[in-house]
């Protein structure tokens, strides 16, 4: 792990905030001594889950405002106040696709945009599944998609599945599960 950089943080102001996200403008001095302003997107800690059972993986398909399109992705969501990252992963899996898992493997962390976003996303592999009732949030319209794990890996490697967090989570899960990536 690299040591932290020596940014000097002189001041900050919140430009926008809602319950899920805020944007801060920071007056800083860069490690090379240059003064400037830097924007920071502040979000809750989040988890992403590869939900796997018997050679199959579950995805969500949902509209994403920022890119104005529907995206196929692993289960993802932010932690609520006082909730652990594993607790968030478990809750999101239950809410979004109606599954609980008896086995949870940590797959490490991944940064979505480390120059702009403050937290890494915790990656998980959920196995030994039990179906329960899904409970999407009022603003969510989620379609559950199930596909063979090999097909999901191929979709990542060919670019058909282009969500970065989902792709990295699937590659890490493949290693844990003993899958080999195609040459």
| Residue boundaries of the structural domains of the chain | 8-42, 46-177
- Give 134's pLDDT tier (boundaries 50, 70, 90): confident
pLDDT (mean) for 129-144: 78
CATH architecture of 46-177: Alpha-Beta Complex (3.90)
Q: Which two tokens stand for residue 66?
A: 């920022």
User: Between vectors from CA 64 to CA 73 and to CA 175, what angle results, nearest 5°?
Assistant: 15
Q: What is the pLDDT of residues 6-18, one digit of tens each?
A: 889 999 999 999 9
* The pLDDT of residue 136 is above 80: no
Angstrom distance (rounded) from CA 148 to CA 174? 12
Plot region of 19 (φ>0 → left; ψ -120 to 50 → alpha; else → beta): alpha
**How much is the pTM?**
0.89
**pLDDT 10s digits, 76-106:** 999 999 999 999 999 999 999 999 999 999 9
Residue 123: pLDDT over 90: yes
Q: Which pLDDT belongs to residue 166? A: 97
Q: 39 and 159 in contact (C-beta within 8 Å)? A: no
Mean pLDDT of the chain: 91
Separation CA 12–CA 20 (nearest Å): 19
Name 6's Cβ contacts closer than 8 Å, sequence gap at least 6.
31
- Whole-angstrom Cα distance, residue 66 to residue 84? 27
The residue count for the chain = 183
Cross-strand pairs, 29: 8, 35
- Average pLDDT score over residue span 67-84: 93
């Amino acid at each position: 792990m690299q040591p932290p950089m020596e940014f000097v943080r002189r001041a900050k102001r919140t430009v926008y905030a809602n319950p899920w996200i805020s944007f801060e403008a920071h007056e800083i001095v860069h490690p090379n001594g240059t003064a400037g302003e830097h924007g920071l997107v502040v979000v809750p800690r989040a988890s992403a889950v590869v939900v796997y059972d018997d050679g199959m993986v579950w995805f969500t398909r949902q509209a994403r405002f920022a890119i104005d399109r529907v995206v196929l992705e692993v289960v993802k969501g932010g932690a609520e106040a006082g909730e652990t990252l594993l607790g968030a992963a478990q809750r999101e899996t239950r809410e979004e696709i109606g599954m609980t898992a008896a086995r949870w493997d940590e797959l490490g962390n991944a940064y979505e945009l480390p120059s702009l976003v403050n937290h890494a996303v915790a990656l998980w592999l959920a196995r030994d599944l039990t179906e329960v009732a899904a409970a999407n949030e009022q603003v969510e319209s989620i379609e559950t998609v199930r596909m063979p794990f090999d097909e999901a890996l191929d979709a990542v490697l060919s670019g058909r599945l282009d969500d970065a967090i989902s792709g990295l989570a699937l590659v890490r899960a493949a290693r844990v599960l003993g899958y080999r990536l195609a040459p």
